[in-house]
Amino acid sequence: MNLIKVLFITLGLTLTAGVANAQQKIGSVNTEEIFASLSEVKTIGTTIDNLTKAKQTEIEKLINDYQTKLKAAQDKEKTLSEANKEAVTKELIAAQTELQGLGKKIEETRAQAAKDISAKQNEMLTPLQKKVREAIFAVAKEKNLSYVFDTAAQESNNLLYTDGSEDITATVKTKLGATATAAKPAGKTK
């Protein structure tokens, strides 16, 4: 009977030791730092800035047209007298309708500009985000990591503390051909 107990205890200790040796490795990466080091991000930023300026110029032209027509209507209103009341009133009503149409066009153009800029950002950033994600996955596999936490997004992944995790930021940046600046160590964070 004692021999059976000893065998079970030995077997239990062996299994426990095996589980302890199979601990999962955890790594961390700072995606903000990776994106900041990629030349593609600067190119995307320039493209989006240029698109934003072009859309803003288009909107400013509409606003200037609106202001010119508003001033003309205000000047016309100053000429209102009993003799020309009927004719001027008709012109002012037509001007008011035109101004309302221009105001609506300005708002529609602003909304469309915001949509266009957002669509262009998504169009340009999505492939880059995929490229970075694939590089992170590749490095994680190379280093046999079970989990990788993004230290740049601590609020969204609820990573409150990390100590001794392997920071793979520099390796991912190297894999992407980005500027390899010294990575901040993954230490105790709160």
pTM of the complete model: 0.66
**Over the stretch 78-114, which tens digit does the pLDDT of each residue have?**
887 877 888 888 888 999 999 999 999 999 999 999 9
174: left (phi over 0), alpha (psi -120 to 50) or beta: alpha
Q: How confident is the model at residue 155 (pLDDT cuts 50, 70, 90)?
A: low
Range 24-176: architecture per CATH: 2-Layer Sandwich (3.30)
Q: Domain ranges in the chain? A: 24-176
The predicted pLDDT at position 189 comes to 41
Q: How confident is the model at residue 182 (pLDDT cuts 50, 70, 90)?
A: very low
Q: Identify the weakest region by mean pLDDT among 21-25, 54-58, 165-169.
A: 21-25
Orientation angle between helical segments 85-142 and 39-78, nearest 10 degrees: 170
Backbone angles phi, psi at 12, to 5 degrees: -65, -45
User: 152 pLDDT exceeds 90?
Assistant: no
